[in-house]
Amino acid sequence: MSAEILNPDISRELTPGVVIAATLDTKPGEVELLLKAFKRHGLSYILVDCGVLGSSTMKPDISATQIAALAGSDIDDLRRLANREATLRTMMEGLSVCLDTLVSHGLVRGFFAMGGGTNTALASAAFARLPYGIPKLLVATTVSGDMSRIVDAKDVVLIHSVVDILGTGQYLRSLLDRSAAVMSALVTDAQAHRTSSPANCVGITAFGSTTRAANAAFERLNSLGHEVLVFHARGSGGRAAETFIREGRINLMLDLTTTEITDEVVGGFLTAGPTRLDAAVEKAIPQVILPGAIDMVNFGPMETIPAKFHGRQFLRHTPTTTLMRTSAEEAASVARFIASKLERATAPVAAIVPTRGFSAYDAEGAPFFDPIADQAFVEELEHALRADIPLIKIDAHINDPEVAELATDTLLQLARNNH
């Protein structure tokens, strides 16, 4: 359904401010406290009601009726349905459409949510939609647990409320006042540093076992005047890199560490999902791909490893991280994944393979050194890669300085070829 439900003249009807997504049917008193705190700190706001249990005497800027309609539903139908999960999903969808519209009109200065499970779910929908740089804050009891799926790859501030967001006592008054102060500082800072993305921004993916290579590439690109953003390739990092590319914040991609693909193909814990490598292809930016840390699959403690992998070669990386050596067959599957993604590339792209190992653990004398498995990757990539995409092999280890030099030189040459 069209976002015109909000009002075609929304840019004149609303003042830019922090979007507060709340359930006014269950938290009217608490929201009143928050609004007073916002006013004390000089924060303008746009109050969005996402409540479905009943009506409220508070008047929001955007009503629950409008939010439901943006998701193609009717608030009265949702209330009659009495299906909490279904109605929440509908309101999350409506909130997402609402935020898209508000952002497109330049009305969003930040996002604020508070509460328990319901409001945390609503916040997760907002985090997924809002661009990087827009302050995002959640005050909730839920933040003491695993928030990885809620935060995902976005820049979010979490405040543990300790007690439930319930009532209007002194503790809650103080908590909300301090939270409003944090939001005020975030908004002020975001406005002061609001700049367009540089035209020469390079993204690099890195991992602990490819840090030397990433550092060398960073230093070289930085010395040449490039803005460089380094993403930790642990699932959320890869997703963040893809989002930055789609938002136009990255113009060149040095995908040095593609270990997340191994986790996606084999079944590890740090996958970035099946869309990894899609963004650079879709946005047609030059990119260089390396097999950084594809020799390993990432798991948690030993007891978390699926039974089907028992008997494989493992290495305790930290007390909470166990690595599994990739087999030759798995390495070949990773090569096919990469080749299939690059098949659609229209911008210049190249693959670089250091033949003496793909990570600090995959070096002569190191625990995961396995030339046969690495060669399986190389042979499959040679076979599967589109014929016009260069595959450059270098007789060196991925962390050797000459690999970073070759990778950066190749990327910059591709950029020149793209103009």
Task: For the chain, give the percent of residues with pLDDT over 90.
Answer: 83
Question: What does the angle CA 131 – CA 133 – CA 135 come to, to the nearest 5 degrees?
Answer: 95
**Residue 149 pLDDT exceeds 90:** no
User: What span, in angstroms and rounded, lies between the C-alpha atoms of 49 and 20?
Assistant: 8
Structure tokens at 382: 């040679």
pLDDT band at 352; cut points 50, 70, 90: very high
* Mean residue pLDDT across the chain: 93
pLDDT over 70 (residue 49): yes
pLDDT tens digits for 9-35? Answer: 665 689 999 999 999 998 999 999 999
**What stretch of H or E contains 253?**
strand 252-255
pLDDT exceeds cutoff 80 at 204: yes
Mean pLDDT (whole number) for 204-226 = 96
User: 28 to each of 170, 180, 247, 262, 329, how far by Cα in Å?
Assistant: 17, 17, 36, 48, 58
Judge whether residue 72 has pLDDT over 60.
yes
- Given this model, what pLDDT does residue 8 score? 61
Please tell me whether the overall predicted TM-score, pTM, comes out greater than 0.75 for this model: yes
- How do 108-115 and 136-140 pair as beta strands? parallel
What's the pLDDT tens digit per position in 378-393? 999 999 999 999 999 9
User: Which residues are registered as beta bridge partners of 137?
Assistant: 112, 157
Q: List, in order of start, the domains of the chain with CATH numbers.
A: 3-192 (3.40.50.12020), 201-417 (3.40.50.12030)
Decide if 146 contacts 236 (C-beta within 8 A).
Answer: no
pLDDT of res. 194? 64
Give, in degrees to the nearest 5, the angle at Cα 311 between 305 and 315: 60
Model confidence at 1, pLDDT cuts 50, 70, 90, reads very low
Token code pair at residue 34: 């928050």
If you average pLDDT over residues 83-90, what whole number do you get? 90
pLDDT at 419: 75
Ranking 97-101, 119-123, 180-184, 189-193 by mean pLDDT, the lowest is 189-193
Rounded (10°) CA dihedral 211, 405, 243, 378: -80
What mean pLDDT is predicted for residues 46-54?
Answer: 92
Burial class (CB in 10 A: 0-12, 13-18, 19+), 395: exposed
Q: What angle do CA 200, 201, 204 make, to 5 degrees?
A: 135
